[in-house]
Amino acid sequence: MAKRGRPRKNPLPEDKVINTEAAVPEKAKTTAKTKQSAPKPKAKLRPQEESEIFALDIGTRNVVGIIGHMSDGNFCIDEAVSVPHKHRAMIDGQIEDIPEVARIAGIVKEKLEEVSGISLKRVAIAAAGRALKTRRAQLSFNIEDKESVSQDDVKSFELECSLKAQDELDAENENASFSFYCVGHTVIKYLLDDYQIKSLIGHKGKKADVELIAAFLPGTVVESLYAVTDMIGLDVASLTLEPIAAMNVIIPPDVRLINIALVDIGAGTSDIAISQNGSIVAYAMSTVAGDEITEEIIKKYIVDFPTAEEMKLSSDAKSISYKDILGFEHTVESDEFFESLSPAVELLAGDISKNIIDANGQPPAAVFLVGGGSLIPGLAKLVSEKLGIPDTRVAVGGKDAMKNVTLGKTKLIGPEYVTPVGIGITAAQNGGYDFSVISLNGKKVRVFDTRSVRVLDLLMAEGYKSNQIIGHTGRSLNFTLNGEKQFMKGEAAAAAEIIVNGEASTLERQVKQGDVIEFRPAESGRNAEVRISDIAGDVTSRYVYVDGADYSFGVIASVNDKRVSADYQIQNHDSVTVSEIETLGELMETLPFDTSHLNFYKSGKLLSIDYLLRDNDDIVTSDKPEGTVNDGSLAKSFADEEEKPVSGIPVSEIIPEEASEIPAEAKDIPEEPKEPAEEKPAEFRMVLNGKSIVLEPRPNNLPHEFIELMAIADIDLDNPPKSGDMILTLNGKEAGFMDILHDGDTAVVKWDYNS
C-alpha cells in the first residue's frame, strides 16, 4: 500500500480519542494486540443527566463530539472525541451519504459513552450555512398588564418575532419545491417604551419592542442532519447555525460592541457572522472553503483526496513526502508546496472578504478565523490585504480565543474545535432551536417549536386538502318531472377519523413531542345522480308512418324541450318530460295537426283509438266517410282519458316536494300505513366574496366551518401577491379556519394584493 504523506511517530486510528492520556490504558493496548483475546465486557452505562450536554459537530471532514456542563458561568468540557470521514460522505457542508455519516457519528457516540460511562440520548447539533437565508423582523408587545417582564416573556417575544420572519420567508418562497427551517436567531436590540435597553427581564413598562435577525436553511439540509441522529438513536435537543455557535464561544455579548466578522472555515463552507453595537447583525456564507485547496493539490500533484488532505495539514513540516496516483514517490519543500497553492488560497481569501463586505457594508474592525480551514498558511494575511485592514486585525481563533471555556483533561487546542464547543455553549444557554417529532400515519413529521401547532395545522402542512379534512356532503339535485318538482339528496360524507395516542381526537387538539397520530381522510359523499333510464327505463325510439311522415312512439324523454337518450344525466334545474305513446289515440294527441275530423287506416282497415301501434306501421288518414257523422268523439275521447302514470320512476329515490291530490273515487278507500316523508333540510345560504352560495348539509348535522370555504372560493392560485397574504374575514372580522358558519353570514376569502 502506498504511503500517504510523511509517516508519523504516533499515527492516530480512525476512532481517535482526543483525551488519549486517560482513555486508553497501557494494559488495554497490549491486550488489543492479542488476536485470540476475549472482548472486554461493556461497562453498564448510566442515564444522561439534564445538565450533561452532548454536542456533535458533523463536519465535512471530521465528526467531533464533546460532553460538557456549565459551572459558575464557564462551559466545562469533560470528554471529547474526533473521528475523520473515511470517504467523501459530505460535500460543501451537505450530507451526501447519510448511512456513512451516521456510521462515523455512531463511532463518536460509542467512544464517548465508553470513556464517560454515560448512555447518550440527547444531542445538540449545528448546521452549516449552505443556501443560507436571513430575515430581520421587529414586533411590539403590550406589557402594561404585566407586573414585570419575565424570562419566559422575552423568549415568547423572540419566538413570535422569529415566526414573523418565517412567515415572510415562506410567502416569498411559496412556489419553491422545498421549505426553509429557522435554525437560529440573534437579537439586534430590545426597546422598552421606545428606549433601547440591554435586557427586558425584570422591567415594567407599557410597550416592549424586539428586533432580531433569523437564519434559515433549506429543509433538505436540516432533515439530513436529523436523519443521521435518528439512525444512531439520538434525540435532537438543540439545533443552531454553525457561525452562531462559533460566535457564542469566540465573541460573547460583551465584546459585540466592536464590528467583528467571525469566519468559520470548514472543508465545505465558510460561514460568516458579523457583530456590531452589541449584537450579531448579519450572517453570510460561501461555498468556497478548505476543499478548494485540497482540490488544487489533487490537480497540481496528481494525488488522491486523502493524500491531498494529509499534505494540506503538513504546514509544520520542513518538507512533504508523498506518492502520486501512478505510484511515484516525491518530496517537496513546504515553502514551495504552499507557495504553489497561492492562487487557490487567494481565491478563498477573496471570496471570504467579498462576503464579509457584502454582509457588513464595509470592512470590519477585526476578523476572527476559526475552523480547520483557518490553518491554511498565509490565509489570514491575504484576508487582511483583501479587506484593507492591518494584518494584526485578522486572527486565527483557537484555544486562547475561546471565552469562558474550561478544557479539563481534553486537548482541544485548535480552531477546528471552536464550533463543537460553541454548539455545547449554545445548547447550555438554551439558545438553540428544536423541532418536535410527531408520527403521522407512521411517518415522522418535524414541527418547528416556535408555534403552537394543532392537528389541523399539521395536516395542512403535510398537504391534506380541506375536503380531506372536513369532507363534503354530495350535491343535491333539484329538477322537475312532468311539471312536478323533484328533490334528491346527495350522499352524506364519511367523516375523517383522527386518533391521537390511541384516543379519538379533534382538529383543534395541540400536538406535542412524541405524539402518534393516525389520520383517515374524510370521504366526500357522492353527488345525487339520476339518468333518464332511472326514470323511464328504455327510451329507444320506434317509428310509425302517418301519411308518409315518420312519428315516434313508445317512451319518449325530453329535457328542456329537447329529445334525450336513456343515458342522459339530469342536471340541476332541468325540466324533464317523459311521455308514453302506445296507442293510436295517444299518438293522435301529439300529431301536429287537427285530428278531430280524421279517420286512420292501415291496409284499408279503419283503426280504433285503442289500436296498439307497431314499429314501422304505415298509416294513412282520410276525411270522414260520406253519410257518417264525425262529431269529434275520437279526439274528445282522448282528451277525456286520464293521464297514465309514468312507469320506472324510483319512488324511494325521487321525492315530490308537493303531494298529489287524491282522486275523489279513492277517498273512501282505506289508506295503507306509510312511512313518514323525510323532511327536506332547510337551505343554508350565505354570501362568499359578494356572491350568494348554498352549502350542502354536513353529515350528522355537524355545523359548517370556515375551512369549507377554502375549497370553493374563486381565487387565483397561480398569481398570489408577493407578500403571500390572504384576507380571511367572517362578517367583517378576521376569521380562523375552525370558526362556525351560520345561515346568512358574509365571508371573504381572497388575496391581499394591497399588502
**pLDDT above 90 (res 238):** no
Q: Which residues contact 110 (CB under 8 A, 6 or more apart)?
A: none
- Whether 536 and 644 map to the same domain: the answer is yes
Q: Which residues contact 708 (CB under 8 A, 6 or more apart)?
A: 466, 470, 472, 695, 741
Question: Considering the domain boundaries, does residue 450 fall inside one?
Answer: yes
> Can you tell me the distance from the alpha carbon of 287 to that of 129, in angstroms, rounded to the nearest whole number?
9
Cell triple for 60: 465535512
What's residue 175's pLDDT? Answer: 65
Question: Considering the domain boundaries, does residue 402 fall inside one?
Answer: no
Mean pLDDT of 411-431: 78
Question: Considering the domain boundaries, does residue 119 fall inside one?
Answer: no
**Phi and psi at residue 58, to the nearest 5°:** -90, 90
- Whether 558 and 628 map to the same domain: the answer is yes
What's residue 566's pLDDT? Answer: 83
What's residue 525's pLDDT? Answer: 81
The whole-model pTM stands at 0.54
Per residue in 41-52, pLDDT (tens digit) is 667 889 999 889
Per residue in 66-77, pLDDT (tens digit) is 999 988 888 888
Secondary structure letter of residue 594 according to DSSP = -
Per residue in 605-637, pLDDT (tens digit) is 898 888 998 888 899 988 644 433 333 333 333
Mean pLDDT of 298-313: 86
* β-bridge partners, 550: 545
Query: Could you tell me the pLDDT band of residue 640, with boundaries at 50, 70 and 90?
Result: very low
Per residue in 149-192, pLDDT (tens digit) is 888 788 878 878 887 888 888 777 766 666 777 777 888 889 99
What's residue 167's pLDDT? Answer: 81
- Whether 537 and 618 map to the same domain: the answer is yes
> Can you tell me the distance from the alpha carbon of 716 to that of 32, in angstroms, rounded to the nearest whole number?
70
**Phi and psi at residue 578, to the nearest 5°:** -125, 120
Question: Considering the domain boundaries, does residue 395 fall inside one?
Answer: no
- Whether 574 and 599 map to the same domain: the answer is yes
What's residue 626's pLDDT? Answer: 42
- Whether 575 and 598 map to the same domain: the answer is yes
* Other Cβ atoms within 10 Å of 16 Cβ, number: 17
- Cα angle 338, 339, 341; round to 5: 65
Per residue in 567-581, pLDDT (tens digit) is 888 998 899 988 888
- Cα angle 491, 495, 500; round to 5: 170
With CA atoms as reference, report the closest residue to 535 among 484, 496, 493. 484
What's residue 41's pLDDT? Answer: 60
What's residue 210's pLDDT? Answer: 92
Secondary structure letter of residue 101 according to DSSP = H
> Can you tell me the distance from the alpha carbon of 316 to that of 325, in angstroms, rounded to the nearest whole number?
24
**pLDDT above 60 (res 320):** yes
With CA atoms as reference, report the closest residue to 57 among 205, 216, 281, 228. 228
- Whether 540 and 510 map to the same domain: the answer is no
Q: Checking phi first, is residue 174 left (phi over 0); if not, alpha (psi -120 to 50) or beta?
A: alpha
Question: Considering the domain boundaries, does residue 678 fall inside one?
Answer: no
Residue 431 vs residue 616, higher pLDDT: 616
- Whether 541 and 600 map to the same domain: the answer is yes
Q: What percentage of the chain has pLDDT greater than the value 70?
A: 80
- Alpha helix (H) ranges present in 371-439? 379-387, 418-428
- Whether 645 and 720 map to the same domain: the answer is no
**Torsion 163-165-171-176 (CA) sign:** negative
> Can you tell me the distance from the alpha carbon of 623 to that of 306, in angstroms, rounded to the nearest whole number?
114
Q: What percentage of the chain has pLDDT greater than the value 90?
A: 14
Query: Which amino acid does the sequence have at 486?
Result: Q
**Torsion 558-559-564-570 (CA) sign:** negative
With CA atoms as reference, report the closest residue to 5 among 274, 334, 277. 334
Domain boundary among 609, 631, 652: 652
Query: E-strand spans in 412-483?
Result: 435-440, 443-448, 477-481
What's residue 383's pLDDT? Answer: 93
Per residue in 476-497, pLDDT (tens digit) is 888 998 888 888 888 877 888 8
> Can you tell me the distance from the alpha carbon of 415 to that of 333, in angstroms, rounded to the nearest whole number?
25
**pLDDT above 70 (res 21):** no
Query: E-strand spans in 394-476?
Result: 394-396, 405-406, 435-440, 443-448
**pLDDT above 90 (res 54):** yes
Question: Considering the domain boundaries, does residue 23 fall inside one?
Answer: no
- Whether 574 and 507 map to the same domain: the answer is no
With CA atoms as reference, report the closest residue to 535 among 591, 576, 490. 576
**pLDDT above 80 (res 435):** no
Which of the residue ranges 234-238, 413-417, 534-538 has the most confident prediction, judged by mean pLDDT?
234-238
Mean pLDDT of 664-674: 48
Per residue in 78-102, pLDDT (tens digit) is 998 989 888 777 776 678 889 999 9
Q: Which of 6-10, 740-744, 747-751 has the lowest mean pLDDT?
A: 6-10
- Give the position of cell 483526496: 305
Secondary structure letter of residue 289 according to DSSP = S
Cell triple for 311: 499534505
Mean pLDDT of 243-264: 84
Cross-sheet strand order for the sheet of 394-396: 279-286, 270-276, 260-265, 366-370, 394-396
DSSP for 621-642 reads EEEPPTT----SHHHHHHHHSP
Query: Which amino acid does the sequence have at 453?
Result: V
Q: Which of 233-247, 311-325, 616-630 has the lowest mean pLDDT?
A: 616-630
Domain with residue 473: its CATH number is 3.10.20.30
Per residue in 547-569, pLDDT (tens digit) is 888 888 888 888 998 888 888 88
- Whether 598 and 645 map to the same domain: the answer is yes
Cell triple for 396: 486565527
- Whether 512 and 539 map to the same domain: the answer is no
Residue by residue, what is the 3-state secondary structure of 253-300? Answer: HHHCCCCEEEEEECCCCEEEEEEECCEEEEEEEECCCHHHHHHHHHHH
What's residue 633's pLDDT? Answer: 38
What's residue 203's pLDDT? Answer: 92
Query: Could you tell me the pLDDT band of residue 283, with boundaries at 50, 70 and 90?
Result: confident
Cell triple for 657: 316536494
Q: How many domains does the chain have?
A: 3
What integer best gives the mean pLDDT of the chain?
78
Q: Note every long-range contact of 688-693, with CB atoms under 8 Å and residues 24 or more positions apart, other chains counting.
A: 688/712, 688/713, 688/747, 688/748, 688/749, 689/713, 689/714, 689/747, 689/748, 689/749, 689/750
Per residue in 100-155, pLDDT (tens digit) is 999 999 999 999 999 999 999 999 998 876 678 888 889 999 888 888 888 878 88
Per residue in 673-729, pLDDT (tens digit) is 555 555 566 778 888 888 888 888 876 677 888 888 877 887 776 666 766 677 888
Question: Considering the domain boundaries, does residue 22 fall inside one?
Answer: no
**pLDDT above 70 (res 538):** yes
Question: Considering the domain boundaries, does residue 77 fall inside one?
Answer: no
Query: Which structural domain range is residue 697 located in?
Result: 684-751
Residue 643 vs residue 545, higher pLDDT: 545
What's residue 623's pLDDT? Answer: 60
- Whether 641 and 692 map to the same domain: the answer is no
